[in-house]
Amino acid sequence: MKIYNTLTGVKEDFVPMEAGKVKMYVCGPTVYDYIHIGNARPYVIFDTVRRYMEYRGLEVNYVQNFTDVDDKIINKAIKEGVDSSVISERYIAEALKDAEGLNVEPATVNPKVTEEMPEIIEMIQTLIDKGYAYEVDGSVFYDTKAFDGYGKLSGKNIDELEAGARIEVDTSKRSPMDFVLWKPKKPGEPAWSSPWGEGRPGWHIECSVMAKKYLGNTIDIHAGGEDLIFPHHENEIAQSEAANGVQFARYWMHNGFINVNNEKMSKSKGNFFTLRDIVAEVPYDVVRFFILSGHYRSPINFSRELMQAAGNGLDRIKSCAKRLDFLLENSDGALTEQESVTADESKKFRQRFEAAMDDDFNTANAVTAIFDLVKFANSKVDEGSSRGLVSTVKDELESLCGILGIRLDKKKADIDVEKIESLIEERTAAKKNKDYARADEIRQQLSDMGILIEDTRAGVRWSVM
Ligand SMILES: [Zn+2]
């Protein structure tokens, strides 16, 4: 299995530190709103990396954080007149619903900044003690010049960076490249006590601390979006390697940018979408399939036409599976001699699939192998086939799709809209009568049917997972 390592700029054989076990850290979202499609891509990509490693027999310890202390969260809390934890808890719950909708396996642990404060303070103190950080009037900054390897991930040169940096109003820093580890409290903000007074951590320190606490000083894989390479991941390396004295992450994986209608997604351009905006139009599984149809390191372009094409592609796979299901119910007998040749041929697609995935998780080629298996099934399996052949081909198709987290069992066409709506009505009535146990039971029943419900101001909205 080869991984393109951003740190070395080449594809390398993946060899975990401990045989059979993988320590993987993925940067998670800042929870001030529903996750956007820029968050959905790494969710799906790195979940697929994990699933493929598990398929290859590796045990993956998968850590993904939630940034629950941030200016955006605080600003939203002030606007709504609530505590910032109300905002972060709300959007953590929503992010988890979206992850479930995308069929992302739950992380081994989802640490939150607010719950890691003692460890954060401890690492900042270590950095001060070792001469990599300094305090000025209640702020603590990382001294980038003290760390020799600064710039090694992004390939940036610190002197050039410094020359190009804007003169900042904040003159308490020794260099404009230094970054904040601890900020002093401002009125109305959440704050924690520390040796440097009341305040809160800067953004970068949390990932260094959580990776160390849940995975150890050196981890196998660190992953995230390409936009995080600089400064976030560069700063994580500076913090972790200075504090721990050993290499931080052995393989760095980054997914490419997201464009919308061929333009970079941004709030100012009005082409900024949350995942909920998208799943109001297409089911979650189409979004997942769409993301996997491209190579994870290439930019991906969201447009209605491309989503539609992905939906059509997924439908082709699902109708093949449905047809095989039907044939399975109506066939019997073991493989004939001639059929065993066909059965063997059907297993060749798995070799192509594995070769693609072993080559830096080329899901685009893996999906092509699945499409070719569909074509093969459509031409070689029919009413005259034995049960033995039908089940061999069907198992292959289901298994390959399953490795990519694509479920074939929940089909939109099979959805009983009337039943769903009557269950939702019953749940609304149960809530009105304060029968929360029944309301939860119905939510679970819907979830088992593959239906995700969401309570909005305008009423209950439902979508297909
Ligand atoms: Zn991070």
Please state, in angstroms and rounded to a whole number, the distance separating the CA atoms of residues 195 and 178.
Answer: 20
Which pTM value belongs to this model? 0.88
pLDDT recorded at residue 254 = 98
Please state, in angstroms and rounded to a whole number, the distance separating the CA atoms of residues 429 and 438.
Answer: 10
Distance 404 CA to ligand 1 centre (A): 25
Distance 204 CA to ligand 1 centre (A): 6
* pLDDT band, residue 170 (cuts 50/70/90): low
In what helix (H) or strand (E) does residue 460 lie, and over which residues does it extend? strand 459-464
Least confident of 58-67, 400-409, 451-460: 451-460
Residues 6+ apart with CB under 8 A from 429: none
Q: pLDDT averaged over the chain? A: 93
Residue 304 pLDDT > 50: yes
Distance 22 CA to ligand 1 centre (A): 18
Summarize pLDDT for 197-225 with one digit per residue, the tens.
Answer: 999 999 999 999 999 999 999 999 999 99
Task: Kindly tell me the number of DSSP H helices and DSSP E strands found in the chain.
Answer: 16, 15
**Tell me, what amino acid is at 44?**
V
CB 251 within 8 A of CB 12: yes
pLDDT recorded at residue 410 = 56
Distance 209 CA to ligand 1 centre (A): 10
Question: Under DSSP, is residue 445 helix (H, G, I), strand (E, B) or coil?
Answer: helix
What's the angle, vertex CA 66, arms to CA 60 and CA 68, rounded to 5? 160
Summarize pLDDT for 102-126 with one digit per residue, the tens.
Answer: 999 999 999 999 999 999 999 999 9
Task: Give me the residue label for tokens 């709300």.
Answer: 90
The partner residues of 64 in beta bridges, in order of sequence, read: 26
Distance 171 CA to ligand 1 centre (A): 26
CB 273 within 8 A of CB 260: yes
* pLDDT band, residue 413 (cuts 50/70/90): very low
Provide the residues around ligand 1 (an ion) whose CB is within 5 A: 27, 207
Please state, in angstroms and rounded to a whole number, the distance separating the CA atoms of residues 318 and 304.
Answer: 21
Distance 207 CA to ligand 1 centre (A): 5
Task: Give me the residue label for tokens 């979202």.
Answer: 29
Q: How many CB atoms lie within 10 A of CB 134?
A: 18
Least confident of 115-129, 154-168, 296-310, 339-353: 154-168
Distance 217 CA to ligand 1 centre (A): 15
Distance 246 CA to ligand 1 centre (A): 18
pLDDT recorded at residue 428 = 92
* pLDDT band, residue 414 (cuts 50/70/90): low
Distance 28 CA to ligand 1 centre (A): 7
Give the torsion sign (CA, 363, 369, 370, 372).
positive
Distance 153 CA to ligand 1 centre (A): 14
Q: How many CB atoms lie within 10 A of CB 357?
A: 25
Distance 338 CA to ligand 1 centre (A): 55
Distance 208 CA to ligand 1 centre (A): 8
Distance 285 CA to ligand 1 centre (A): 27
Task: Give me the residue label for tokens 């808890």.
Answer: 89
Q: Tokens in use for 187?
A: 């009125």
Across 160-173, average pLDDT: 74
Position with higher pLDDT, 266 vs 120: 120
Residues 6+ apart with CB under 8 A from 45: 255, 291, 292, 296, 361, 363
Distance 106 CA to ligand 1 centre (A): 18
Across 246-257, average pLDDT: 97
First to last CA, the chain: 30
Please state, in angstroms and rounded to a whole number, the distance separating the CA atoms of residues 235 and 436.
Answer: 46
Distance 395 CA to ligand 1 centre (A): 38
Position with higher pLDDT, 397 vs 448: 397
Q: Tokens in use for 347?
A: 């297993």
Distance 29 CA to ligand 1 centre (A): 9
Greatest CA separation for the chain: 82
pLDDT recorded at residue 146 = 97
Question: Under DSSP, is residue 24 helix (H, G, I), strand (E, B) or coil?
Answer: strand
Distance 104 CA to ligand 1 centre (A): 19
Distance 238 CA to ligand 1 centre (A): 13
Distance 15 CA to ligand 1 centre (A): 23
Across 397-406, average pLDDT: 98
Distance 60 CA to ligand 1 centre (A): 18
Q: Tokens in use for 86?
A: 């109300």
Distance 460 CA to ligand 1 centre (A): 34
Summarize pLDDT for 450-461 with one digit per residue, the tens.
Answer: 787 878 777 787
CB 246 within 8 A of CB 217: yes
Q: How many CB atoms lie within 10 A of CB 82?
A: 12
Summarize pLDDT for 18-34 with one digit per residue, the tens.
Answer: 999 999 999 999 999 99
CB 306 within 8 A of CB 290: yes
Summarize pLDDT for 71-97 with one digit per residue, the tens.
Answer: 999 999 999 999 999 999 999 999 999
Please state, in angstroms and rounded to a whole number, the distance separating the CA atoms of residues 273 and 284.
Answer: 14
CB 298 within 8 A of CB 226: no
The partner residues of 182 in beta bridges, in order of sequence, read: 140, 201
